[in-house]
Amino acid sequence: MKKILKIQINVRFRDIDGMGHVNNAVFFTYFEEGRIALFQNFSKDSGFSAFPFILAHISCDYLRPITLNTRLSLEMWVKEIGSKSFGLGYKLTDLSDASIIYAKGESVQVCFDYEENKSIAVPAALKKKLIEYQ
């Protein structure tokens, strides 16, 4: 059975827009918090070398509004692993009731050599770690 990363997301006052709910763009920041947590689990290094990829695609399906008092949990997993890229899945749920889903999303990351400025194959060590969440 695949592992699922679960982290608590805190809704900040600045996340709220004039309509009284979390602005749509902030959902992507919540997904980013998940990617940071996942890769910090993979590596003790907190520098750029811990993130050997670039974001190629991201999407979000907004299912219900999030307000300042909402307590959130983010679930994240690996959807697929290609030769140079990998896909992640996201689900934002209520912290106390996972059946309440606020959003679902997905992203595609391309492994990247920043010194050479080009895409690279998914490194074997990274692939091994990603497979645990697939």
CATH number corresponding to 5-131:
3.10.129.10
The answer to whether 130 and 78 have CB atoms below 8 angstroms apart is yes
At 89-131, the pLDDT tens digits run 999 999 999 999 999 999 999 999 999 999 999 999 999 999 9
| DSSP type of residue 131 | H
| DSSP type of residue 48 | G
How far is it, in rounded angstroms, from Cα 4 to Cα 48?
24
Domain chopping of the chain, boundaries: 5-131
How far is it, in rounded angstroms, from Cα 42 to Cα 37?
9
Average pLDDT over residues 65-86: 97
How far is it, in rounded angstroms, from Cα 20 to Cα 32?
22
Q: What is the pTM of this model?
A: 0.93
| DSSP type of residue 31 | H
Q: Which of 112, 53, 103 is nearest to 76 (CA)?
A: 103
Look at residue 52 in the predicted model and tell me its pLDDT: 86
In three-state secondary structure terms, 32 is: helix
Helix (H) or strand (E) holding 101: strand 101-113
Q: Is the pLDDT of residue 47 over 70?
A: no
Looking at the DSSP bridge assignments, the partners of residue 44 are none
